[in-house]
Every structure is written in structure tokens, then in C-alpha cells.
Amino acid sequence: MRDIIINQPLDMHLHLRDNDMLKLVAPFSAKSFSGGLIMPNLSTPITNKQMLMSYKNRVLEAIDGNNFEPYMTLFYQNYDTKFLKDIQNDITAIKLYPAGITTNSKQGVSNFDIKELEPTLSVMSELDIPLCVHGETDGFVMDRESQFMDIYEQLATNFPKLNIIMEHITTKDATKIVQKYDNLYATITAHHLLITLDDVAGGFLDPHLFCKPIAKRYEDKEALVKLATSGNKKVMFGSDSAPHPTHKKECCGCAAGVFTAPIALQLLCELFIKDEQNINLQEQNLQKFLSSNAVDIYGLTPPNKTITLREKNYKVAVDYKNTTHTITPMYGGKTIKWSII
């Protein structure tokens, strides 16, 4: 039975929601990870300091004494220098959503003209505040991310000092662009390393695997796996764990989001640790993907925490509940090959 130890694992793209849902889901992330980048797309997005600080306090309360650092983000809008200077020490990044592209993104950006974005992005660049981007157009669903590559290239070349993180990349195209520009980085989810559109809709429809961006083709998944497992310094883990109540997934008009927080680390272990001969390299690359790359990219000092994983079957719960909510995780009721001990 093999054990793998991960130091300070980080989840650099995490939806914790609010209120009773936050209380239900936060302990799963706090158990597995040393810290996480907390997304700002609450039903009223986080757009000022007062909202940010009170949300951070609610997150800290919900992790219930666990050693877990919530790295806070702000929802991208036009912000002025005074505002950004005042909030810069309280945030790790600002998250940009195209308007209407996904959950709670109505107030996002509808005009990607560089002139329109310049005032805010030039100040962010000056203050060294990273920009995280949900990179999808409103085109044909399988092409949305690829169609956004032009915008990434324009952002990267017009703001060469701005660190830009391409969130939850899903395509072979994105794996190439991220390596083309010094100031582009990317997060990759566990589910996009494991599934294709066939798993979502190729047989019976699986609403618990439906998310934005939608999982793509086999060759896209292969390109993502190759990049993530290579130890490349430009990519890091971001689960995009995005819980929705089970009744909002198992219905007509299914909400987008895959809830992976309780099993993400275990799934990554299974993916990275493949064969006996290269075990040291595989472990090192897993450590880079799960922590050191993010530490370098964002300049973080995460709380000390080591997580031990064992190659031992783990039966994923069918669902998780509190008095208000029931949520269904990815692979609910199935058995996976690694456990946290």
C-alpha cells in the first residue's frame, strides 16, 4: 500500500457560496487543502471592501478551526486607483467574468475592447494585482474557450506586466497559448483532467458532470493531462468545485458546476501516480501542480499542513446534507482508488 505526502496543497479556484451552503461545503476544502482562492460570484457579487471582509469572516467561521487560508478575490468591474490601492492588501486577485456566461455573472464584462478595460487593468498591473479570467465567448458551446484565445493574446500583449490566469482551461488551444506568453498562467480542474463530453452527454445525461466550460474532446483532455503532469510551472490546480443543491442539478435547466471538494486530491493522486519506475518524478510533479507552482505564481506563504494520501479504496458518499441543503458530489456512490488518511 503506497502513501503519498503533499505539503500545503492549494486549490486556486474554489466556490464556497454563502450561508448554509458555505457551512456545508467549506469543511471539505479546509480538510484537504492549506488554502484556496475563493471566487466572488455570490448571488450579489463581491465588489467592495465591506462585502469582501464580511464574506471572509463568514468563510473563516465556516472552516471551523481548520488551518486553511481563504485567499479572497473581488468581482471585476471598472475600479479606480484609490479603490484598488485601498483594497490591494485584502485580495489575492480580481476575477473577470464575461457578462452572463455562467452562474451569477450578469454584472460581468460585456465589452472586451482594450480601451474599455485599460483604466482598471493598468492600475492592477502597476499594483501587481493578478487578473483571473473566465475565458469563454457566447459562441457555440464547444468553441467558446477557443474563441476566447484572441482576447487572452490581446490582454497578454497590451499588459505585459499584468499576471493573467486563464481559469479552468479545457482545450488543446489553451495549453498552447498559456506557454506562449510570459505573463499567462492557467488553472486546471480535476474533472477536466478526467472526463470528456462523452461522460457528460454521450450516454445517459449526467447532470453532476455538467459545468462551464463544458468538458471537451479526448485530444483536449490528453493535452491537459500532459501539461498538468509534466511539472510545467505555468499551471496549477484549481478545482472549480461549484456546489449546487441536488434538486437544481437533477432537473430541467440544470445549473452548471461540479462539486469535487471532497475527492479532488484523491483523484489527482490517481492521475499522477501511474507507474513504479518514475514514482519520485510523479510525486514531485504532483507537488508542483498542487502547491509550489501556485506559491511562485501568486507569491503565497500558505499555512503549514501536510496531507497523507493512501492507495486504498474510498467509497464516495452519494450526497452530503445539512438541514437546509443536499448536494451530490462528482462520482457520488462510486469507489475511487485513493483515500486521505
What is the nearest approach in angstroms of ligand DOR to the Cβ of residue 59? 15
Neighbours of 64 (CB within 10 A): 12
Taking the mean position of all CA atoms in its chain, how far away is CA 48? Answer: 22
Q: Choose the catalytic residue: 11, 173, 220, 240.
A: 240
Of these, 240, 286, 291, 294, which contacts Zn ion (CB under 5 A)?
240
The residue (of 23 and 288) whose beta carbon lies closer to ligand DOR is 23
Q: Please identify which residue in the block is written with the cell numbers 475563493.
A: 38
CB of 72 to ligand DOR, least distance (A): 16
Residue 45: is the preceding peptide bond cis (ω within 30°)? no
Q: How far is the CB of 240 from Zn ion (least distance, A)?
A: 4
Please report how close the Cβ of residue 272 comes to ligand DOR at its closest, in angstroms: 24
Q: Could you tell which of Zn ion, ligand DOR, none binds residue 144, using a CB distance below 5 to 8 A set by kind?
A: none
268 binding partner (options ligand DOR, Zn ion, none; Cβ < 5 to 8 Å by kind):
none
* Nearest CB to ligand DOR, comparing residues 156 and 242: 242
Who's near 132: CB < 8 A, 6+ residues apart? Answer: 13, 37, 73, 93, 94, 95, 96, 165, 167
CB of 102 to ligand DOR, least distance (A): 4
Residues 66-105 that bind Zn ion (CB under 5 A): none
Buried b (16+ CB within 10 A) or exposed e, 93-107: bbbbbbeebbbbbeb
Q: Which is nearer to ligand DOR, 74 or 307 (CB)?
A: 74
Q: Which is nearer to ligand DOR, 123 or 242 (CB)?
A: 242
Contact segment (CB under 5 A) with Zn ion among 86-94, 196-204, 212-220, 240-248 equals 240-248
* Shortest Å distance, C-beta 240 to ligand DOR: 6
Assess contact for 240 and 13: CB atoms under 8 A: yes
Among Zn ion, ligand DOR, none, what does residue 53 contact (CB within 5–8 Å per kind)? none
**Interface with ligand DOR by CB under 6 A: which residues?**
15, 41, 102-103, 134, 211-212, 242, 256-257
Q: Closest CB to ligand DOR among 25 and 294?
A: 25
Task: Name the amino acid, one letter, at 110.
Answer: S
What DSSP state is assigned to residue 227? H
The residue among 1 and 252 lying less far from ligand DOR, judged by its C-beta, is 252
Is-catalytic flag, 90? no
Cβ atoms of residues 165 and 186 within 8 Å? yes
SS (H, E, C) 79-133: CCHHHHHHHHHHCCEEEECECCCCCCCCCCECCCCHHHHHHHHHHHHHHCCCEEE
Give the contacts of 52 (CB within 8 A, at least 6 positions apart).
40, 46, 72, 74, 87, 90, 91
Which of the listed partners (ligand DOR, Zn ion, none) does 256 bind, with a CB threshold of 5 to 8 Å by partner kind?
Answer: ligand DOR
Residue 101 Cα to chain centre, angstroms: 16
Question: What are the grid coordinates assigned to 108, written together?
Answer: 460581468
Catalytic residue numbers, as ranges: 240
Residues contributing to the site for Zn ion (CB under 5 A): 240
